[in-house]
Amino acid sequence: MRYFSGIVLVCGVLLVSSCMKKDDFPDTPEIDLEGWVSIFDTTQFAVQGILTIGFRDGNGDIGLNGYDTLPPYNKNGPYYYNYVITYFEKQYGTFVRIDLDPPYSARIPYLTPDDPNKAIKGIIVDTLDLNPVPVFDTIRFELFIYDRALNKSNVLTTPEIILRKH
C-alpha cells in the first residue's frame, strides 16, 4: 500500500520587470530538469524526493487560480492539473507506467506578472513522497506543464532513480 503525505509545491519565480532587459521566450512553456535529490530514512529506503525544474514562458500565462474549475480545467478533465507528473517503475528490466491515487501531478498557482512584459521564468521545487517499502527499487518520472492557453511544454524524463541504498 502506498502512503502519501501530499505534494508540496513551492514556486520560486523570477518576474521580469519593466526596468530590466526584456527576455525573449516563446509563448509555449519550456522546462528544464534542474535536479533530483533522494531523501533516505534511517534504513535503506528513499522516502521522499525533491524534484526541481526550471521553466520559462514568453506571455506569462502559467498557473491557475483556485476558482479555475470550469472546463477545460474541471476536476476530471485533462487540464485540471497543469503540472503533470507520471510515475514509472522498472519491473523486470522494463519501465511500466503506474497510475497513482492521489497522483503526483499538481496545480501551479497563478503566476502571471502585473507588468507590460509578461515573460516569466522561475524554478519549481516539488517534494514527492515515495513508497517507503518498494517492491521494485528503480523508478523514473516524466513531466510537463500546460499554460492557460493549453500549450504543452516539452516533456522531461528523469534519469533512473534508485530507491534502495546498496
* Kind of pairing between the strands at 8-15 and 156-157: unpaired
Residue 9 has pLDDT above 70, yes or no: no
What value does the mean pLDDT take over residues 78-94? 97
Structural domain total, the chain = 1
Q: What is the pLDDT of residue 108?
A: 96
Asked if residue 3 is part of any domain, the answer here is: no
Q: What is the CATH number of the domain that holds 116?
A: 2.60.40
Buried b (16+ CB within 10 A) or exposed e, 93-129: eebeeeeeeeebbbbbeebbbeeebbbbbbbbbbbbb
Pull the grid cell for residue 27: 509563448
41: containing domain? 8-162
Asked if residue 102 is part of any domain, the answer here is: yes
pTM above 0.75, yes or no: yes
Asked if residue 25 is part of any domain, the answer here is: yes
| DSSP one-letter code for 136 | S
Asked if residue 115 is part of any domain, the answer here is: yes
Asked if residue 112 is part of any domain, the answer here is: yes
pLDDT digits (tens, 9 = 90+) for 31-56: 999 999 999 987 788 999 999 999 99
| DSSP one-letter code for 67 | T
- Residue 85's pLDDT band, with cuts at 50, 70 and 90, is very high
pLDDT digits (tens, 9 = 90+) for 94-113: 999 999 989 999 999 999 88
